[in-house]
């Protein structure tokens, strides 16, 4: 329904260089199960019935995006910045004219191709009536060691309350832009919201929604995508 309010829009930061992947092209363009990583993400959002618009943030110098055939409702914004935070902030500013302050924005890493429509639906269902917003995350399963900074375990941290953050992270456009504009040295949207003293909702995600970072991650991502 075009008149429904608020809207749900996806904002996908894809302006990184993939330094840890160590490949000649940025990892979001790496071929995975027959198509570039980025297309898996765009097609998943495009197939999500509740998502009204999909915005993709790429670097102004991006030489690959024009070669892709984008799914419906996808718009490319060439306003990536030097950090993920800058890319997301620039993207939020770019869409401000066509977005209401109370519209929900789902920020999702281009490097998480394992996202599914079901996970998007779950996040929206758990968060859309929330006053703050929330994110997909998974409870930590490993025993966690705090190092002494010299390669030795100093102590063991209880994992009972620990969650590993994933994306999408879903917040209101106006509040998220405000929070990100003030925050410093953060690696996700939730940190900026937490800095306002607010507590984003943790919604259980899935291991398949992991972030592809190192060369060996490509094979694991491909297994998940082919097993769909």
Report the interface residues with ligand CTP, using CB under 6 A.
13-20, 28, 57, 80-84, 87, 109-111, 211, 213
CB of 167 vs ligand CTP, minimal distance in Å: 8
Min dist. Cβ of residue 153 to ligand CTP (A): 26
Q: How far is the CB of 1 from ligand CTP (least distance, A)?
A: 31
Q: How far is the CB of 71 from ligand CTP (least distance, A)?
A: 17
Peptide bond into 168 cis (omega under 30): yes
Burial (0-12, 13-18, 19+ Cβ within 10 Å), 110: buried
Minimum CB distance to ligand CTP smaller for 17 or for 125:
17
**Closest residue by beta carbon to ligand CTP:** 16
- Cα(59)–Cα(25) distance, integer angstroms: 13
Nearer CB in complex with ligand CTP: 32/110: 110
Q: Which is nearer to ligand CTP, 126 or 220 (CB)?
A: 220
Which is closer to ligand CTP, CB of 25 or CB of 198?
A: 25
CA separation for the pair 115, 126 (Å, rounded): 16
Residue 11 half-sphere exposure, CB side, CA atoms within 13 Å? 32
Report phi then psi at 41, rounded to 5: -65, -45
Helices (H) and strands (E) in the chain, counts: 6, 11
C-beta of 59 vs 175, nearer to ligand CTP:
59
How does strand 104-107 pair with strand 8-13? parallel
| Residue position matching structure tokens 């100093």 | 154
């Amino acid at each position: 329904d075009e008149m429904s309010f608020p809207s749900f829009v996806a904002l996908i930061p894809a302006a990184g260089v993939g330094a840890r992947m160590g490949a000649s092209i940025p990892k979001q363009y790496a071929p995975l199960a027959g198509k570039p990583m980025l297309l898996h993400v765009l097609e998943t959002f495009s197939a999500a019935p509740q998502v009204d618009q999909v915005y993709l943030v790429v670097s102004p110098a991006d030489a690959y995006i024009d070669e892709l055939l984008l799914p419906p409702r996808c718009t490319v914004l060439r306003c990536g910045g030097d950090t993920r935070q800058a890319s997301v902030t620039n993207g939020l500013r770019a869409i401000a004219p066509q977005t209401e302050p109370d519209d929900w924005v789902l920020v999702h890493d281009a490097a998480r191709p394992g996202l599914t429509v079901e996970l998007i639906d779950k996040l929206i269902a758990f968060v859309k009536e929330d006053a703050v917003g929330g994110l997909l995350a998974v409870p930590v399963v490993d025993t966690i060691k705090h190092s002494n900074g010299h390669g030795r375990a100093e102590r063991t941290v209880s994992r009972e309350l620990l969650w590993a953050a994933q994306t999408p992270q879903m917040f209101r456009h106006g509040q998220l832009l405000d929070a990100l504009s003030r925050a410093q040295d953060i690696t996700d949207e939730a940190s900026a919201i937490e800095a306002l003293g607010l507590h984003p909702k943790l919604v259980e995600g899935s291991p398949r929604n992991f972030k592809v970072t190192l060369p060996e991650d490509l094979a694991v991502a491909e297994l998940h995508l082919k097993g769909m």
